[in-house]
Amino acid sequence: MPPDHARRFCSDEELEQIGYDGHGAAGDLERWRCCGVPPATQELINVLRAEGVGSATLLDVGAGVGIVHLSLLEAGAAKAVDVDASRDYLAAARGEAERRGLADRVDYRYGDVVELAAELPAADIVTLDAVICCYPHHAALLRAAVRPGPRLVGLIYPHDAWWSRVRMHLSNLIWALRRRPDHWYIARRAQIDRVMGEAGYGAAHRGGTRSWKVVVYRRELASNRPRSG
Ligand SMILES: C[S@@+](CC[C@H](N)C(=O)[O-])C[C@H]1O[C@@H](n2cnc3c(N)ncnc32)[C@H](O)[C@@H]1O
């Protein structure tokens, strides 16, 4: 992490450091409309639907144009909160929700979910699709994600393989040389599993594509959890 990086992102200037200013929103919407849902995202949606989304409340962190929560609302979920660090992405997601007649079931919050976590309502299902890789504090992000007490947490993040890490380091180098704010933050699978395990979640599904891991964690019954000490 660059030394001048804020610990949390709670102002526009700090949020800009994450590198997502919504410049991709129009392109993402166009790709969704023309080419459908990306395969890893579709897998996440399918797994969550199979787990049951009827009447569920959703928290979609860094929802981008809203593919995950809008698809799950169409599949029977009751309502959603979309928290995003980009105003442009929030506007794109709201526009798409209006077009689909779903906007009155979505609550839009602008900011860093780590900063906003204490004021978010309870949620049955929390999703982070390609968000872990653009935020420097993975453990804080995951703890914010489980704070609403979900039964399911769906994550999509880049493969934790050497070739994937080399690719991300190279991209970071090129972006730094070009003085662009974009940055891949590399999260290791073991770290993610550890934080989720400490919060009481075990992996119920592991899958993905060549580039992306799709993992759905389920809250474990207290009686099934290993005793500490
Ligand atoms: C790569 S985009 C992914 C968008 C969408 N989930 C998708 O897969 O198409 C990452 C998104 O996460 C948001 N984001 C990153 N860190 C965040 C944080 N800590 N709190 C809220 N949003 C965050 C960015 O603003 C951006 O919209």
| R_g (Cα) of the chain, nearest Å | 17
**All residues at 6 or more sequence positions from 166 whose CB lies less than 8 Å from its CB, including other chains:** none
Mutate which of 7, 18, 109, 175 for ligand 1? The one with the most ligand atoms within 8 Å of its CB, which is: 18
The per-residue pLDDT for range 145-179, each reduced to its tens digit, is 999 999 999 999 999 999 999 999 999 999 899 98
**d(CA 136, ligand 1 centre) in Å:** 12
What token pair was written down for 103? 């906007």
What token pair was written down for 184? 């891949």
Would you say residue 222 lies in a domain?
Answer: no
Identify the pLDDT of residue 14.
76
Identify the pLDDT of residue 16.
75
Range of the domain at 119: 12-216
Identify the pLDDT of residue 227.
55
**d(CA 229, ligand 1 centre) in Å:** 37
Would you say residue 108 lies in a domain?
Answer: yes
Ranges of residues in the chain whose predicted pLDDT is under 50: 1-3, 228-229
Would you say residue 148 lies in a domain?
Answer: yes
Give CA angle at 1 (217, 82), nearest 5°.
45
Would you say residue 3 lies in a domain?
Answer: no
- CB–CB of 141/201 below 8 Å? no
Between CA 6 and CA 118 the distance in angstroms is 19
Would you say residue 5 lies in a domain?
Answer: no
Q: In this structure, what CATH number is given to the domain that contains residue 179?
A: 3.40.50.150
Total count of residues recorded for the chain: 229
pTM of the model: 0.93
Would you say residue 175 lies in a domain?
Answer: yes
User: How many domains are there within the chain?
Assistant: 1
Would you say residue 74 lies in a domain?
Answer: yes
Give the helix ranges, DSSP H, for 23-137: 25-35, 39-51, 67-74, 87-99, 113-116
